[in-house]
Amino acid sequence: MQKTLVDKIPIALPKEIAPYVEGAKVYDSSCNSEAKVYFIEREGGYFLKVASKCSLQREALMTDYFYSKGIGAEVLFYGGNNCDILLSKQVKGEDCTHESYLENPKKLCDRLAEELRLLHKTDFSDCPVKNKMQEYFALAERNFRTGNYDKSNFPDSFGYRSADEAYSTFIKGKDDLNGSVLLHGDYCLPNVILDDWHFSGFIDLGGAGVGDRHVDIFWGLWSLAFNLKTDRYRSRFIDAYGKDLVDEEKLKIIGAIEVFG
């Protein structure tokens, strides 16, 4: 986790949050332009996320849900006037991009696969977001119509030669994807927290909900290759997760959807 010490958080904070910040060291740990994330160094640590109005509503809801299952951070505050503010306790440990984990890629690969399999076994009968796949498809449809064909994060576009080719694969295959497990929605190394190799919890749950397991499997494979700078652990991850549960054709469909953001 990147951390840069700051003098103060440059917005007016709700009175409920002030006691957590006053007198504490605060660090900017933001990693993208969509939200500002601050780490508050007090007690076990807190994270404060600030983003545009209503943009953190789903994340607050699903983080609280995962916490109720014992696999997420405790939400202490969600609200704000002109923007969204989400305060949560730090999950003990380090995310899986920490050098101590990257130095042992085989063990890391196995832990990521095993924790994903356990997540996908979680009872989701009370999950507040059961329409993940419908939303997922709708976003791809909308981005295709508006020309949002993402080649910045995926330079090879997962082998698709054009937006039309990827869209055709998506349309033909989407009915084969179903809502059958509790998904993280962005299952990548920075979003899985381990404490000396013991699982602590998941973070960044704005994309979570009930959906097809191949969404998480796809991102787990992508993140391993991206962070380890090699695709050599792909088969190992699938074997550790459960080869009998993985359909390569469905992973290709997910790839076709993801090029549309």
Among all residues, which ones are annotated catalytic?
186
Which residue, among 31, 42, 34, 32, has the nearest Cα to 1 in the 3D structure?
31
Tokens encoding 169: 């694969």
Instruction: With beta carbons less than 8 A apart as the criterion, state whether 10 and 36 touch.
Output: no
Instruction: With beta carbons less than 8 A apart as the criterion, state whether 234 and 248 touch.
Output: no
243-260 burial: b if 16+ Cβ within 10 Å, else e:
eeebeeebbbbbbbbbbb
Tokens encoding 241: 């997760």
Name residue 25's amino acid: K
Contacts of 151 (CB under 8 A, 6+ apart): 157, 259
